[in-house]
């Protein structure tokens, strides 16, 4: 589990290589029914931020990131404060997550869009194999570090990424957009699209991840924020008069790639000494939007 702070590995990931890569990642929907819906009447927001105290990332970083993203998206997508739900640190336990998902199941309708933003630690459950849909765990809140990862799952301290995806698929929203800032996060993208057995083939979904499946998710040099989250907040502020959520995400991705390079160059020797592949630090966010949802989400 890792999320690469400027000097310390930690847990967030994704991959965007600029506009060309984004265009290549956004295929035409295979099912016409999955196209962005004109019947969406309101947008809801679920923000999840988990920086446990036994990780080097300060707990305040996740709290700040969630509040900043909630404020930025709330303003640009006209999300009513009453339609925003935040799970931050101590409230983001398995019990808290299950409770909030039950509330959303009872609240959302096919006329609602749900945007989920999550910044947390994640990674391979079995470290001998690459992170992937069947081999990934999401670290929820605990005051003490679990002694054994398998026990953390068995005791419901942490959650398998596939189980979290099942909760998301079970929500009755008309559209779902997931923004995940976590290490190796693109490894989880298939879980939120057609490859999950609980996927609704009629519901449009989009996934933005902060790093490729083999990459760390960096933090800012002062560790105050996850890097991609910081760039997304700034990009949402930059597109002051026009544009879509896709425009803001593209700009944030380009800036993340540019900002990560000098940070990673400075860490090459340290990464090798710690037995890490230094190329995994060169973060590239990834967009999977087969239904072109982000292009239809006009910023206000």
Domain count, the chain: 1
Task: Give me the phi and psi of 94, to 5 degrees please.
Answer: -60, -45
Q: So what's the pLDDT on residue 278?
A: 65
Give me the domain span that covers residue 175.
Answer: 19-296
- What is the distance between the alpha carbons of residues 168 and 201, in angstroms, rounded to a whole number? 14
Helix (H, G, I), strand (E, B) or coil at 116: strand
Q: So what's the pLDDT on residue 238?
A: 79
Q: Identify whether the C-beta of residue 242 lies closer than 8 Å to the C-beta of residue 299.
A: yes
Residue 12, in any domain of the structure = no
Q: So what's the pLDDT on residue 80?
A: 97
**Claim: this prediction has a pTM higher than 0.85:** yes
Percentage above 70 pLDDT, the chain: 83
CATH classification of the domain holding 126: 3.40.50.1460
Closest by CA position to 297, among listed 260, 254, 258, 243: 243
Q: What is the pLDDT of residues 157-197, one digit of tens each?
A: 999 999 999 999 999 999 999 999 999 999 999 999 877 88
**Can you tell me which residue has the tokens 């803001």?**
248
Burial 148-177 (b: 16+ CB within 10 A, else e): ebeebbeeebbbbbbebbbbbbebbbbbbb
Q: So what's the pLDDT on residue 7?
A: 30
Rg of the Cα trace of the chain? Answer: 18
Q: How many helices (H) and strands (E) does the chain have?
A: 8, 9
Q: So what's the pLDDT on residue 171?
A: 97
- pLDDT score of 8 more than 70: no
Residue 206, in any domain of the structure = yes
Residue 3, in any domain of the structure = no
- pLDDT score of 213 more than 90: yes
Residue 6, in any domain of the structure = no
Per the prediction, the chain carries an average pLDDT of: 86
- What is the distance between the alpha carbons of residues 253 and 10, in angstroms, rounded to a whole number? 20
Q: What is the pLDDT of residues 265-296, one digit of tens each?
A: 887 767 556 666 667 899 999 999 999 999 99
Q: What is the pLDDT of residues 41-76, one digit of tens each?
A: 999 999 999 999 999 899 999 999 999 999 999 999
Residue 179, in any domain of the structure = yes
């Amino acid at each position: 589990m890792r999320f690469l702070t400027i000097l310390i590995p930690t847990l967030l990931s994704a991959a965007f290589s600029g506009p060309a890569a984004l265009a290549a990642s956004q295929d035409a929907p295979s099912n016409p029914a999955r196209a962005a819906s004109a019947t969406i009447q309101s947008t809801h927001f679920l923000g999840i931020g988990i920086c446990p105290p036994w990780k080097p990332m300060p707990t305040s970083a996740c709290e700040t990131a969630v509040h900043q993203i909630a404020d930025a998206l709330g303003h640009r997508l006209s999300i009513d404060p009453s339609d925003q739900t935040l799970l931050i640190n101590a409230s983001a336990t398995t019990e808290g997550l299950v409770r909030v998902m039950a509330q959303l199941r009872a609240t959302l309708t096919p006329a609602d869009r749900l945007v989920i933003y999550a910044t947390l630690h994640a990674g391979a459950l079995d470290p001998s194999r690459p992170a992937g849909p069947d081999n990934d765990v999401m670290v929820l809140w605990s005051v003490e570090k679990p002694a054994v990862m398998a026990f953390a799952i068995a005791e419901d301290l942490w959650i398998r990424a596939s189980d979290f995806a099942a909760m998301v698929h079970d929500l009755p929203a008309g559209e779902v957009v997931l923004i995940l800032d976590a290490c190796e996060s693109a490894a989880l993208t298939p879980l939120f699209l057609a490859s999950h057995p609980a996927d609704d083939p009629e519901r449009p979904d989009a996934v933005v991840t902060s790093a490729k499946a083999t990459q760390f998710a960096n933090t800012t040099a002062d560790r105050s924020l996850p890097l991609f989250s910081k760039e997304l907040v700034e990009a949402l502020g930059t597109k002051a008069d026009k544009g879509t959520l896709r425009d803001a995400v593209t700009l944030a991705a380009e800036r993340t790639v540019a900002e990560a390079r000098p940070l990673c160059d400075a860490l090459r020797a340290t990464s090798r000494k710690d037995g890490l592949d230094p190329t995994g630090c060169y973060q590239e966010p990834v967009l999977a939007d087969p239904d072109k949802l982000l292009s239809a989400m006009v910023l206000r």
